[in-house]
Every structure is written in structure tokens, then in C-alpha cells.
């Protein structure tokens, strides 16, 4: 391959690995997740076929009912994931909890527990039989023998707790996924962010405890349609945004500077607006006049500064607008207001 061909070969972008996530409730951060095993969104639509003619050909498909379903699976344990899924807040304070099958050594029937029990202590003897004893502080008495028993009991301590009730519904909040974008020649070149303004969790999850593994937590759900910002976006499920690592200018094929013809009196001003035309799948974009080189061909007739044209004296001139080599012109006609409307 020649050097010239190598230089002109297009590089390719790739979305790699999994995404970090953030979940907001009422515009306040509820949790973030940076240990995801997989993150995805699934977009689907229903359709109704219109058929007819010989052979009952498919003439058209009416598409409707678009749905967007995000899915996140986290490797870490975080009680906030459960709370959001069941629609519950996290309580933090003193509660009674269980010590389960705590091994206690008995000397002449007397043993010491690790915690101060609340209520009775349940004893499991080596032969499998069980019994209840009343503790005195952390001390229990089980007969008069030496040996080991298993003790199960309640004790009071500070905990975090989520209640899974029968009636609450999952929370609805804003979900943001952020994944790395890499380039075949440059490595990491930015991020792709998927923002779902209204994400309703499914309320369905499993806590699977296995001897040879760790528990993962899934956050599945559906995007709910909201009014877009701006409203011209219509009803919106999500925004998918590319964020470059280094800021770069917007590529355009043409620019349109307005007004195309500026008619103004001496000392009158008019503001310039510039729109970049992109074509294809890209929408037009408003450009900042500060990013353009704007000059007047005759400053004696009209000047331009900070995107504002000012009439100086009667006459005609042109304003040149240049955005990264893409150009447009504005015709400026300045009239002397003192000479207008004097004919009798």
C-alpha cells in the first residue's frame, strides 16, 4: 500500500466495553455505578403490514409503538440499587438483627456470646437438638458440659435497611450511561452518553447467592416519553450524544448569514446570524459569530464588530463571513436618514 493511500485511509470509531451510569431522582443524584458487567438499550417498534394485489404483496409497513428498554447489570452490591427498584427509601438507624449459628465454646455449660442478645437465645447442640436459654448479658448457660454449640439470637445495632413492601412502585428518574469511544488510529477520542430523561425501573430483580460466585444486581426498565427540550423534538425517550475528548469545530458544507441584505440608516445597527448547513443525516446548526471571521469591504460605509453591523455613511458595501474557509456575504445598503422624506 502506498504512503498516499495510507494517509487517505479513513479511520473508524468504536464503542468499547461497558458504560458507567448515574441515576437522578428529582434532579438529585441517587447513585452512580462504575462496576457494570453489561449495559444496553433495546429499541423496538411494532408494525402493521398493508398488503394487496396479486400474490398479496407487502405494499407498505406502518410503524408504530416505539419502545426503549435500558438494562444495566452491576457487579457490586449497593443497597441504593434495590431501593430504587422497589421504590423505597433507605432507613439508617438502630434495628434488631440476627446472629445466625454463632459458634460458642462452653466451659462447664457456660459460654460467652459476641453480642448482647435481645430476647431468647436459640441453641443447636452437636446432636442436632435445639433448645432456648435466657441470657445474662453476653453470658449463656447450657447444662454443665464442656463443648461447642451454635447460638442464634437477635441483637441491636446500627444498620441500613430497605423495606420491600407489597404496594410501592419502582422509582422513575433520569438515567445517564457514559461509554468510551475509541478510534482505530487515535485510541480513546471521547465518550458516548445516553441520557434517558424518564426511566422507570421494572421493579423486578433477583438476589442470587452462589457458593462459587458473587451476587450481581440488574436494573431493567423502560423509558417513558417526555416533552423534548426544545419542544420541537416532540416526545422523547432518550438523547444519544457524542462528547469529544478535545473540542473541535463543527464541519459544515455551506453557511447562510442573515440578513442577506441589510438596509440601515447611519448609526443604525443590525445583528448577524450564521447557520451552518450540513446535509445528509445532519441537521443545520447555529454558529457563533465569534467563531467566524467577519469583515467589511468598506468600513467607511459600514463597520462590523462582535457580529453587529453599524451604518457609517450612505452607500453600499459587503460584509464577508468566513467559517473555517466556508464563506457567505451580506449586502449592506446604508441611507442617510437626513435626506429621506424631504421631497415637496
Q: Where are the domains of the chain?
A: 12-44+62-87+167-243, 92-161, 254-338
Please report the pLDDT score of residue 339 as a whole number. 55
pTM reported for the whole predicted model: 0.73
CATH of domain 254-338: 2.60.40.1080
**How confident is the model over 67-108, as pLDDT tens digits?**
999 999 999 999 999 999 999 999 999 999 999 999 999 999
Please report the pLDDT score of residue 4 as a whole number. 42
Assigned C-alpha cell, 59: 405494499
Note if the bond before 280 is cis, omega within 30 degrees: no
**How confident is the model over 142-197, as pLDDT tens digits?**
988 899 999 999 999 999 999 999 999 999 999 999 999 998 888 888 899 999 99
CA 146 to chain centre: 61
**How confident is the model over 198-219, as pLDDT tens digits?**
999 999 999 998 898 889 999 9
**How confident is the model over 5-51, as pLDDT tens digits?**
444 467 899 999 999 999 999 999 999 999 999 999 999 999 999 99
Secondary structure of 222-283 as H, E, C letters: EECCEECCCHHHCEECCEEEEEECCCCCCCCCEEEEECCEEEEECCCEEECEEEEECCCCCC
Q: What percent of the chain has pLDDT over 90?
A: 77
Assigned C-alpha cell, 130: 435445639
Q: Other C-beta atoms within 10 Å of 174: how many?
A: 18
Domain 12-44+62-87+167-243 is of which CATH architecture?
Answer: Roll (2.30)
Alpha helices in the chain (DSSP H): 3-8, 79-86
Assigned C-alpha cell, 167: 404496594
Amino acid at each position: 500500500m502506498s504512503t498516499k493511500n495510507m494517509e487517505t485511509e479513513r479511520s473508524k470509531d468504536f464503542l468499547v466495553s461497558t458504560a458507567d451510569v448515574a441515576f437522578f431522582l428529582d434532579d438529585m443524584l441517587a447513585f452512580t455505578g462504575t462496576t457494570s458487567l453489561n449495559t444496553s438499550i433495546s429499541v423496538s417498534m411494532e408494525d402493521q403490514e398493508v398488503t394487496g394485489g396479486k400474490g398479496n404483496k407487502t405494499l407498505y409497513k406502518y410503524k408504530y409503538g416505539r419502545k426503549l428498554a435500558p438494562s444495566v447489570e452491576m457487579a457490586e452490591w449497593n443497597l441504593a440499587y434495590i431501593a430504587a427498584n422497589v421504590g423505597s427509601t433507605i432507613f439508617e438507624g438502630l434495628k434488631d438483627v440476627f446472629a445466625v449459628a454463632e459458634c460458642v465454646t462452653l466451659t462447664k455449660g457456660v459460654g460467652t456470646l459476641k453480642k448482647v442478645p435481645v430476647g431468647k437465645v436459640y441453641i443447636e447442640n452437636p446432636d442436632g437438638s435445639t433448645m432456648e436459654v435466657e441470657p445474662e448479658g453476653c453470658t449463656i448457660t447450657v447444662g454443665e458440659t464442656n463443648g461447642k454449640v451454635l447460638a442464634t439470637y437477635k441483637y441491636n445495632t446500627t444498620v441500613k435497611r430497605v423495606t420491600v413492601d407489597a404496594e410501592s412502585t419502582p422509582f422513575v428518574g433520569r438515567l445517564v450511561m457514559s461509554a468510551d469511544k475509541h478510534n482505530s488510529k487515535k485510541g480513546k477520542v471521547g465518550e458516548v452518553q445516553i441520557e434517558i430523561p424518564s426511566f422507570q425501573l421494572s421493579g423486578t430483580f433477583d438476589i442470587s447467592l452462589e457458593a462459587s460466585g458473587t451476587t450481581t444486581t440488574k436494573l431493567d426498565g423502560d423509558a417513558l416519553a417526555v416533552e423534548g427540550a426544545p419542544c420541537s423534538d416532540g416526545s422523547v425517550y432518550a438523547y444519544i450524544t457524542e462528547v469529544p475528548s478535545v473540542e473541535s469545530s463543527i464541519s459544515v458544507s455551506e453557511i447562510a448569514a442573515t440578513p442577506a441584505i441589510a438596509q440601515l440608516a447611519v448609526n443604525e445597527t443590525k445583528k448577524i446570524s450564521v447557520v451552518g448547513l450540513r446535509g445528509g443525516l445532519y441537521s443545520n446548526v447555529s454558529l457563533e459569530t465569534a467563531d467566524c471571521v467577519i469583515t467589511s469591504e468598506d468600513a467607511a460605509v459600514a463597520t462590523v464588530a462582535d457580529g453587529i453591523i453599524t451604518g457609517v455613511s450612505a452607500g453600499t458595501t459587503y460584509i464577508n463571513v468566513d467559517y473555517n474557509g466556508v464563506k457567505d456575504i451580506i449586502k449592506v445598503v446604508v441611507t442617510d436618514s437626513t435626506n429621506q422624506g424631504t421631497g415637496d
